[in-house]
Amino acid sequence: MIITRNLKKTFQTKKMAVHSINKVSFEAREGELTVLTGPSGGGKTVVLNMLAGFIKPDYGDIIIYGEDTSGWGWSRWNSFRRRYISYGTQRNIFIPNISVEDNISLPLLMLGHEKSEVMDLVRDLMERLGIEYLYGRKTYTLSGGEQRRVMVARTLINDTPIILLDEPTAELDEDSSKLVIDLINDFISRDKIFIVATHDKNLVNIGDRVIKIDRGYSTIIK
Ligand SMILES: Nc1ncnc2c1ncn2[C@@H]1O[C@H](COP(=O)(O)OP(=O)(O)OP(=O)(O)O)[C@@H](O)[C@H]1O
Ligand SMILES: [Mg+2]
């Protein structure tokens, strides 16, 4: 379980402070899909970055599984993240000189699995996302929507207890985005904390909890 409250993040850009998160408070539970929505620049990505431990709030608490994370240093966050969190960021970040399937399998290879063990899983996810035809390609040759789906596959592959996905259906047509939403739905039914940031109404509609984040303030919609 994650509870965040009164989070504040002020970015110092030269001498000017940018107040991005003012007051955000919500709870995400296992077995549910928690959706962060709201206008562009509202603070969704900053909140996900805080939940992943990449940036620290200036004040406020992030409580995970009942534990207050405010005392965690980078190494504690790194080891927690490795074991529990998978984060598909808004920007597609890949290793350019390896294939699509190698990029997708990377989280499992880093945990020590053999490539031969994980390839069936990679193919299955690629098929379910309609990107099986990308096998063997390099990620820099892919369209924006193809890259998004590779990112989704890589985020889901190691089946972590906490999944964060930022705009998983951005740049996708309706059919492809339905494949992504169906896959997300399948993962929710397993006991996971699943948090997505999205503008996509179809994805918002399947959220068990919906939190609007606008100008750094949260409102519980559902
Ligand atoms: N490192 C940073 N330094 C300064 N300002 C930042 C930084 N990161 C984010 N911001 C600002 O914080 C605000 C919230 O940004 P954020 O990326 O969280 O928005 P978002 O809700 O994810 O928007 P979108 O829907 O466009 O992805 C924006 O005004 C952004 O410019
Ligand atoms: Mg964003």
Question: Is residue 50 predicted with pLDDT exceeding 70?
Answer: yes
| In the chain, % of residues over pLDDT 70 | 98
Q: Does any domain span residue 123? A: no
pLDDT at residue 193 in the model: 94
Give a yes or no: residue 191 inside a domain.
yes
| Structure confidence by residue, pLDDT tens digits, 100-139 | 999 999 999 998 999 999 999 999 999 999 999 999 999 9
Query: Considering the domain boundaries, does residue 9 fall inside one?
Result: yes
Residue 83 in domain: yes
Closest ligand 1 atom to residue 167 Cα is 27
Long-range contacts of 57-61, Cβ-Cβ distance < 8 Å, separation of 24 or more? 57/7, 57/8, 57/9, 57/21, 58/8, 58/9, 58/10, 59/6, 59/7, 59/8, 60/4, 60/5, 60/6, 60/7, 60/8, 60/24, 61/3, 61/4, 61/5, 61/6, 61/7
* Percent residues over pLDDT 90 in the chain: 80
In a domain, 36, yes or no: yes
Average pLDDT over residues 54-68: 90
165-203 per-position pLDDT tens digit: 999 999 999 999 999 999 999 998 668 999 999 999 999
Residue 108 located in a structural domain:
no
Q: Would the CA dihedral through 17, 19, 20, 24 be positive or negative?
A: positive
Query: With bands split at pLDDT 50, 70 and 90, how would you rate the model's confidence at 222?
Result: very high
Mutate to test the pocket of ligand 1, among 8, 10, 46 (most ligand atoms within 8 A of CB): 46
**Span 14-24, pLDDT tens digits:** 777 777 888 89
Q: Total structural domains in the chain?
A: 1
177 is a domain residue: yes
Alpha helices in the chain (DSSP H): 44-51, 74-84, 100-110, 115-128, 144-156, 174-188, 201-205
Is 43's C-beta closer than 6 angstroms to any atom of ligand 1?
A: yes
CATH number for position 73: 3.40.50.300
User: Residue 22 is part of which domain span?
Assistant: 2-94+157-220
Cβ contacts of 191 within 8 Å, gap of 6 or more: 30, 31, 161
Whole-number pLDDT of residue 18: 72
In a domain, 172, yes or no: yes
Query: What is the DSSP track for 168-212?
Result: TTTT--HHHHHHHHHHHHHHHTTT-EEEEE---HHHHHT-SEEEE
Q: What is this structure's pTM? A: 0.94
CA-closest residue to ligand 1 atom 10: 20
Amino acid residing at 56? K
